[in-house]
């Protein structure tokens, strides 16, 4: 006895290309910044990802990473990077697809962004700078919770969960 032909599409994720879409390094206080001996820098990290449909089942995911380091209200350096990837994604339902573009793809892109940022900061004359690993699964879950809360009116009630 033969089974009826499957009508569902096979689930596939493939990396087509990983590339830098936009990149900027600024050190507005150079060279004076290198002559001060005692640094107590404060670093601000901002992450954001976006998705846009491309040709066919290809999707461009852009991980935007901004690193700004200041000392005594002077910017030591500012790095802005859009690390992008073209991913072939097919066969997933809406919720699965959202998790792929919101967590899986940024997780793939982050090591590339991390290396680019570290290299630029080093070439800018600053000490080694290592971005710590990021849990994109947790960030995605948090963004889903915030979206659900805002859709439910954001009245502060959370159904008794604490």
pLDDT, mean of residues 115-127: 95
Q: Check pLDDT > 60 for residue 7.
A: no
Give ∠ CA 119-22-113 in degrees, rounded to 5.
40
User: What ranges in 8-154 are assigned the alpha helix state H?
Assistant: 94-99, 105-123, 136-151
CA distance 47 to 61: 13
Q: Which residues contact 43 (CB under 8 A, 6 or more apart)?
A: 67, 68, 69
Percent of the chain surpassing pLDDT 90: 69
pTM over 0.75: yes
Higher pLDDT, 87 or 72: 87
List the domain boundaries for the chain.
12-30+41-126
pLDDT at 158: 44
Q: Where are the alpha helices (DSSP H) in the chain?
A: 94-99, 105-123, 136-151
Query: Quick one: 118 exposed, middle or buried, by C-beta within 10 A (0-12, 13-18, 19+)?
Result: middle
Task: Provide the pLDDT for residue 149.
Answer: 86
124 contacts: CB under 8 Å, gap ≥ 6: 25, 27, 30, 77
Topology adopted by domain 12-30+41-126: Bacterial Protein-export protein SecB (3.10.420)
- State how far the Cα of 85 lies from the Cα of 106, in Å rounded to an integer: 9
Predicted confidence (pLDDT) at residue 16 exceeds the cutoff of 50: yes
Mean local confidence (pLDDT), 67-75: 91
pLDDT at residue number 154: 55
**Average pLDDT taken over every residue of the chain:** 88
39 pLDDT higher than 80: no
């Amino acid at each position: 006895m033969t089974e009826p032909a499957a009508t569902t599409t096979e689930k596939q994720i493939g990396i087509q290309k990983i590339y830098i879409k936009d990149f900027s390094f600024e050190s507005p206080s150079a060279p004076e910044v290198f002559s001060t001996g005692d640094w107590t820098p404060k670093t601000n990290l901002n992450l954001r990802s976006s998705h846009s449909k491309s040709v066919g089942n290809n999707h461009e995911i852009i991980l935007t990473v901004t690193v700004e380091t200041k000392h005594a209200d002077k910017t030591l350096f500012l790095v802005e990077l859009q690390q992008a990837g073209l991913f072939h994604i097919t066969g997933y339902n809406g919720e699965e697809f959202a998790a792929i573009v919101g967590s899986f793809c940024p997780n793939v892109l982050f090591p590339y962004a991390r290396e680019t940022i570290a290299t630029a900061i080093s070439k800018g004359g600053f000490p080694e700078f290592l971005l710590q690993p990021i849990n994109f699964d947790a960030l995605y879950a948090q963004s889903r919770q915030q979206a659900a809360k805002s859709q439910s009116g954001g009245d502060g009630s959370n159904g008794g969960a604490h």
